[in-house]
């Protein structure tokens, strides 16, 4: 079986990590994956794929975005870039084309034009109206099968998809629980060196991640604890497009007089940062499947998360993590302080979180779901052609 996996962004992040890790496991099962992505800002992704001998193709291709210059090229170059994609498809002759994200319109259209079955992987719970409008058209005319990264994703996109195609397999973002294992990871020294309770958040710095909520939470926690030592660490890359937002966050820290909030920037040692943490935070305004939460669970950390994606379903009534309403920094602060004062509660939550990660989020489980979906799609095609 051969899969052509198309992703509309070359910069390494959650979707790219999932594609890489799943491809490695599928390879052991005899399923070949060729990854296709833009050549811009993709050096890290290319390097990691090469390291694991996962074949890939890069090309100049534009995606839907708010940037007017990039958006205009998406429209003007649409025929040319679509032609390039069809050439790659014809070159490799895959059994299935896996297209990642509702932004991935060209891949779905190219699959239809070449007569190749496609799986459209939806992985968000919010989309601007103009993209939803275009998505509805493409979904009706060109799509074959959909999968989703959360139940909430299916609920969001369901009304925009033809009824016959609304039944979707749920593919949760995977975690390599054998590598994200607290027994074999050493703590990051620049976090562990601080005394007191360490509270960590991980993710590229942007508004959707709710970093302003995180900082307000830190400020409110300070009012609740007085002089008790709490330190808050932001582990996330600051993109050029988010420098203004980052400056606003730093100004908030200054205005709240928070000398215990630390910006660590992008890191390649996230497992080590998680190992050093006492509490993990997800303060996002919207997510489908927050990878950082799942990795923190695998690292046996107690998690306090906003009610995004399927986190509340996974936590099962706060059994292995704590849910607070989106943007409710006061409730989040209260839960953080409660955990900070109860080491045994932190330990119990963390242990249950890791067990849940092993049972439901492990990379082997996720890869098998991918394989089952591909097999189902191919079987449907053979039935049609019979």
pLDDT in tens, 48-58: 999 999 999 99
Identify the CATH assignment for 2-174+363-385 out of 3.40.50.2000, 3.90.1150.10, 3.40.366.10, 3.40.50.300: 3.40.50.2000
Fold of 189-360: Rossmann fold (3.40.50)
Q: Which tokens belong to 89? A: 């498809």
- Asked if 261 and 180 count as a contact pair (C-beta separation under 8 A), the reply is no
- Asked if 89 and 6 count as a contact pair (C-beta separation under 8 A), the reply is no
Q: What is the CA radius of gyration of the chain?
A: 21
Query: Mapping DSSP to helix (H, G, I), strand (E, B) and coil, where does residue 294 land?
Result: helix
Alpha-carbon gap, residue 24 to 161, rounded angstroms: 31
Alpha-carbon gap, residue 135 to 361, rounded angstroms: 29
Domains 2-174+363-385 and 189-360 share a fold: yes
| pLDDT tens-digit map of 79-133 | 999 999 999 999 999 999 999 988 789 999 999 999 999 999 998 888 888 888 8
> For residue 383, how far is the Cα from the chain centroid?
34
pLDDT of residue 65: 73
DSSP string, 22-48: HHHHHHHTT-EEEEEEESTT-HHHHHH
pLDDT at 17 over 70: yes
Cβ-based neighbour number of residue 10 at 10 Å: 20
pLDDT of residue 52: 95
Cβ-based neighbour number of residue 238 at 10 Å: 18
Which residue carries 């990871």 as its tokens?
A: 185
**DSSP label at residue 65:** -
Residue ranges per structural domain of the chain: 2-174+363-385, 189-360
Query: Mapping DSSP to helix (H, G, I), strand (E, B) and coil, where does residue 224 land?
Result: helix
pLDDT band at 316 (very low <50, low <70, confident <90, very high): confident
């Amino acid at each position: 079986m051969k899969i052509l996996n198309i992703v509309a962004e070359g910069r390494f992040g959650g979707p790219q990590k999932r594609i890489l890790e799943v491809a490695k496991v599928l390879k052991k099962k005899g399923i070949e994956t060729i990854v296709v992505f833009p050549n811009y800002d993709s050096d890290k992704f290319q390097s990691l794929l090469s390291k694991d001998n996962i074949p890939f193709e890069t090309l100049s291709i534009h995606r839907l975005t708010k940037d007017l210059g990039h958006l205009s090229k998406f429209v003007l170059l649409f025929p040319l870039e679509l032609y390039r994609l069809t050439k790659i498809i014809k070159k490799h002759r895959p059994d299935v084309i896996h297209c990642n994200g509702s932004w991935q319109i060209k891949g779905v259209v190219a699959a239809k034009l070449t007569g190749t079955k496609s799986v459209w992987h939806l992985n968000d719970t919010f989309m601007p109206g103009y993209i939803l409008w275009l998505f509805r058209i493409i979904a009706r005319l060109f799509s074959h099968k959909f999968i989703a990264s959360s139940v909430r994703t299916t609920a969001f996109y369901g009304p925009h998809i033809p009824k016959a195609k609304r039944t979707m397999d749920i593919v949760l973002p995977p975690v390599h629980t054998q590598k994200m294992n607290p027994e074999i990871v050493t703590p990051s020294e620049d976090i562990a060196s601080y005394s007191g309770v360490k509270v960590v958040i991980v993710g590229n710095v942007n508004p959707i991640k709710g970093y302003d909520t995180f900082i307000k939470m830190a400020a409110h926690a300070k009012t609740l604890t007085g002089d008790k030592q709490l330190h808050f660490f932001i582990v996330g890359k600051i993109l050029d497009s988010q420098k203004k937002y980052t400056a606003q966050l730093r100004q908030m820290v200054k205005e709240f007089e928070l000398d215990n909030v630390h910006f660590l920037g992008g890191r390649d040692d996230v497992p080590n940062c998680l190992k050093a943490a006492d509490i993990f935070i997800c303060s996002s305004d919207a997510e489908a499947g927050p990878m950082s939460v799942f990795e923190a669970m695998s690292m046996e950390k107690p998690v306090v998360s906003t009610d995004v994606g399927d986190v509340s379903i996974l936590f099962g009534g706060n059994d292995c993590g704590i849910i607070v309403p989106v943007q409710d920094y006061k409730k989040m602060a209260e839960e953080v302080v409660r955990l900070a004062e109860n080491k045994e509660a932190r330990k119990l939550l963390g242990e249950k979180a890791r067990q849940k990660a092993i049972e439901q989020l492990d990379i082997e489980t996720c890869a098998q779901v991918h394989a089952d979906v591909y097999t189902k799609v191919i079987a449907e095609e053979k039935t049609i052609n019979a």
